[in-house]
Amino acid sequence: MRPPQENSMRPPQPPEQEESTQTHGNNNSKKPLMKFVKKITQNKRKNSGGCEEWECLLCGHVFKGSYTRVWHHLLAIPGIGVKACTCSLDQRMEMTKLHMKGKGNNSCNIDSSSSSPNKRARHQDKSPSNHDSSINEEIESLRGGSSTKGKSDVNESILKMYNVVHRDEADDAISDFFMANGIPFNATRSPQYKIMVKKIHAAGSGYAPPGYNKMRGSLLDRGVTRMQMLTEDLKQSWVHSGCSIVMDGWTDIQSRPLLNVIVTSPEGPYFLKAIDCSGRYKDATFMFEMLKDAIEEVGPSNVVHVITDAAPVCRAAGLMVQSRYRHIFWTPCCVHALNNVLKDVGKIQWIAKIILDARDAQMFICNHHASLAIYRMHAKKKFLKPAETRYATYFILLERMAEMYVPLQATVVCQEWNA
């Protein structure tokens, strides 16, 4: 009589349980970081690509994807559209070593056709409660960051592959530079910011940034030369399409009277120069001389138009340009002309009274902390402060007050005034 086969002595097992056992073994060997996430929902649709919803047990972040997104999230690897885990550096290093160890054990998967019955029995004898407790212990150790085993002999290839330490240190150094020098964070949206970082990376680790003297000396001269080369095509277009010279005066924070001279053409504007008028009397003759110098610098044959303010002095200077250069005509600035029109409208008696009342109300609310706090309780939009140089802003203030009529009414009758 033939002895019974060894497989027949093993009690039968449901297919579902056997399949789950094999899958669990594969996850332990090929996906060691699965114990640090929790599956929330599973996509049971066909051809879904294994897209599931996960919750990180270390930071609580919820995301969708496959195991690729899981280890990208835990190891803070960018470029796949998932937020990095906020765990500590020691925790991430431990998970990195587990991930690299799992990648090295891909060839050691459990196969039902090649494994012995004793090994399969040991797999099935593993208690789920013991497995869960071991997972919880590892998670708690990572959360606490108390494990110091292996910190001194961290694999340098892991650091080089993921560059965790250097990337975090570079981010901290850039943020410290922005905060220490009061640079707005919007500067990171500038295209020159990304170009600068790429060029520094291409220069290599031995690159030394320029100092104060180099920035204000040779680099500034190179920048001016580079800008002149970039604007050569713009200047060449003046010969074919002509250009206009715009001159406007303003006062800087040091109370210096300046004149800006800008050349405009269909190809775009070009800042020509700024003239310091300190100690000079800006009459019609002076303004004409400034315009004439700008016309001669650009080329009289290229200029067809001159634009200034509508002030009497600028008007007289524009007429002098027209008499000197017959092909050039002068026009006042449209914005300045409209501002003068609104200024004349504001001189009407009943309109002037409304503007004065609106300005008094705006000054009372904005100049007192208590009234401003009550106004902000009922209104979401700010008051617009009129500019002294533009009379049109008073009408913009009236428009805002008409828009905020209900919040202003609630501010007046608010019970907080009695507190």
pLDDT at site 223:
92
Q: Report how far residue 370's alpha carbon sits from residue 136's, in angstroms, rounded to the nearest whole number.
A: 54
pLDDT at site 181:
94
pLDDT at site 24:
42
CATH superfamily ID and name for 241-332: eRF1 domain 2 (3.30.420.60)
Provide CB contacts within 8 A for 303, sequence distance 6+.
Answer: 242, 243, 244, 245, 295, 325, 328
pLDDT at site 400:
87
The total of other beta-carbon atoms located within 10 Å of residue 415's CB is 7
The total of other beta-carbon atoms located within 10 Å of residue 194's CB is 11
pLDDT at site 120:
44
pTM of the full predicted structure?
Answer: 0.51
Phi, psi of 148 (to 5 degrees): -110, 10
Place of tokens 């401003």: 372
pLDDT at site 112:
39
Provide CB contacts within 8 A for 225, sequence distance 6+.
Answer: none
The angle that helices 392-403 and 405-412 make with each other, rounded to 10 degrees, is: 70
pLDDT at site 385:
72
Q: Range(s) for CATH 3.30.420.60 in the chain?
A: 241-332
Q: What angle do CA 199, 203, 207 make, to 5 degrees?
A: 115
pLDDT at site 163:
67
Instruction: Report yes or no: 355 and 346 within 8 Å, Cβ to Cβ.
Output: yes
pLDDT digits (tens, 9 = 90+) for 322-381: 999 999 999 988 888 888 888 888 889 999 999 889 888 888 888 888 888 888 888 888
Query: Exposed, middle or buried, 313 (CB in 10 Å: 0-12/13-18/19+)?
Result: middle
AA letter at 8? S
Enclosing H/E stretch for 308:
strand 303-308
pLDDT at site 168:
82
How far is residue 212 from each of residues 195, 205, 206, 217, 218, measured CA to CA in Å?
Answer: 21, 21, 19, 8, 11
How far is residue 233 from each of residues 107, 164, 239, 296, measured CA to CA in Å?
Answer: 63, 46, 11, 19
Q: What is the pLDDT along the chain (419 residues), one digit of tens a residue?
A: 444 444 433 433 433 333 333 444 445 567 888 888 888 865 555 554 557 888 888 888 888 888 888 888 888 887 777 888 888 877 888 888 888 877 665 544 434 333 444 444 444 444 444 544 554 454 444 444 444 444 444 455 555 555 667 788 888 999 999 999 999 999 999 999 999 999 998 998 889 999 999 999 999 999 999 988 888 888 888 998 899 999 988 888 888 889 999 999 998 899 999 999 888 888 899 999 999 999 999 999 999 999 998 888 999 999 999 999 999 999 988 888 888 888 888 889 999 999 889 888 888 888 888 888 888 888 888 877 766 666 678 888 888 888 888 988 888 888 888 87
Beta strand 62-65 with 52-56: parallel, antiparallel or unpaired? Answer: antiparallel
